[in-house]
Structure 1
Amino acid sequence: FSRQPAKTLWYDRPRYVFLEFCVEDSIDVKVDIQDYRVIFSCKNADGVEFYNEINFYARVNSKDSQNKHSGRSITCFMRKWKEKVAWPRLTKENIKPAWLFVDFDNWRDWEGDEEVEKAMGTWKELQGRGRSQPPAPICQCGS
């Protein structure tokens, strides 16, 4: 059988690293967030299989990481083990796979950025009350 990597966007924040796997109408979605890597797989409506395995630049807290599935993509947000330390790249290896892109619409210099911190804090608070909707990033998979 043949698999291909999904187009993947990423961006960095003070406490979280965000990933977006761009697969429309995905089914059989599996996301395994570990401390040093993420393994993603799914199929699309045409039966094409997607598989990505990414070894992270640095450690994340897998127990405090989430993913959200929409019709256009699967978004993961991983809590950094060392907060407020910028990641110069997503991957441990200093290479850029052809399927991996920086999400420039969501990327910004976040030093001193309180807006995102408040949004994530609010989400964590709501999650504690039984709601599980993270702050929505700007979906770039369809553009």
Structure 2
Amino acid sequence: MSVSGETDYSQPAKTQWYDRKNYVFVEFCVEDSKDVDVTIEKFRLVFSCKSADNLELYNNIELYSKVEPNDSRHKRSDRSITLFMRKVDGKKAWPRLTKEKTKNAWLVVDFDNWRDWHDDDQQMIDLEHYSNMLKDLKDTGPPPTMDDLDDESLDSI
């Protein structure tokens, strides 16, 4: 055992994360996990468990920004442990999960679920603009009759 109480052979679990307006989602990719322990604090996330082959996994993550521990949850499945943590400041996007800018080999962005939520706002504005354009087009009156076109003029095309 090390001084901190962790076993010397513990390693971090492979972790994916993505950002939304009000929540940050974190997924620890551990199949058939046992002895799962999750602690969510205002600026820190601590995760530990044992894998199916009894390898001890441990992650201690200093978070990029403040979360609300009492409004954050986690769920264990056969394939992973998923957390959602409510951001205290939902108006700000998180460019990374960790406080430090260092790259961690065990931590990746979940691009399948990632969305730039500023784009969501722009998409809604664009959709509303497009809807208004269609409405304006609809109100222009009946379509032209095109009576001035004869069969001979179409043959020359």
TM tier relative to shorter chain: 0.7 to 0.9
Note the C-alpha offset of 1:84: 2.3
Counterpart in the other structure of 2:75: 68
> Displaced runs of 4+ in structure 1, greater than 2 A?
111-114
Equivalence for 1:7: 14
Q: What's the offset of the Cα at 1:109?
A: 1.3
Listed as ranges, the matches of 1:62-141 within 5 Å are 62-111=69-118, 113=120
**Letter of the aligned partner of 1:49 in structure 2?**
E
Unaligned runs of 5+ in 1: 115-143
Distance in 1 of aligned mates of 2:46 and 2:86 = 16
Q: CA deviation at 1:26?
A: 0.1
Whole-Å Cα distance in 2 between the matches of residues 112 and 7 of structure 1?
Answer: 28
Specify which structure has the bigger relative contact order, considering alpha-carbon pairs within 8 angstroms and separated by 6 or more residues. Answer: 1
Q: Give the counterpart letter for 1:46 in structure 2.
A: D
CA offsets per residue over residues 1-34 of structure 1, 9 Å max, x none?
4101000000000000000000000000000010
Which structure shows the bigger proportion of residues in strand conformation? 1
Q: Kindly state the Cα deviation for residue 111 of structure 1 after the two structures are TM-superposed.
A: 2.3
Which of residues 54, 65, 72 in structure 2 aligns to 1:58? 65
In 1, distance between residues paired with 2:103 and 2:67? 20
**Pairing 1:25-36 to 2, within 5 Å after superposition:** 25-36=32-43
CA RMSD of aligned residues (A): 1.2
Q: Which protein shows a greater Rg?
A: 2
Counterpart Cα distance in 2 of 1:16 and 1:54: 16
Q: TM-score, normalised by structure 2?
A: 0.70
The one-letter code sitting in structure 2 at the alignment partner of 1:11 is Y
Deviation at 1:44, TM superposition (A): 1.2
Q: Could you tell me how far apart the structure 1 residues matched to 2:96 and 2:53 are? A: 32
Structure with the largest fraction of helix: 2
SS in 2 for 1:77: strand
Shift of 1:113: 3.7
Q: What TM-score does the superposition give when structure 1 sets the normalisation length?
A: 0.77
Counterpart of 1:22, as a letter, is C
The percentage of counterpart residues that share the same residue type is: 62
What stretches of structure 2 of length at least 5 have no aligned partner?
1-6, 122-157
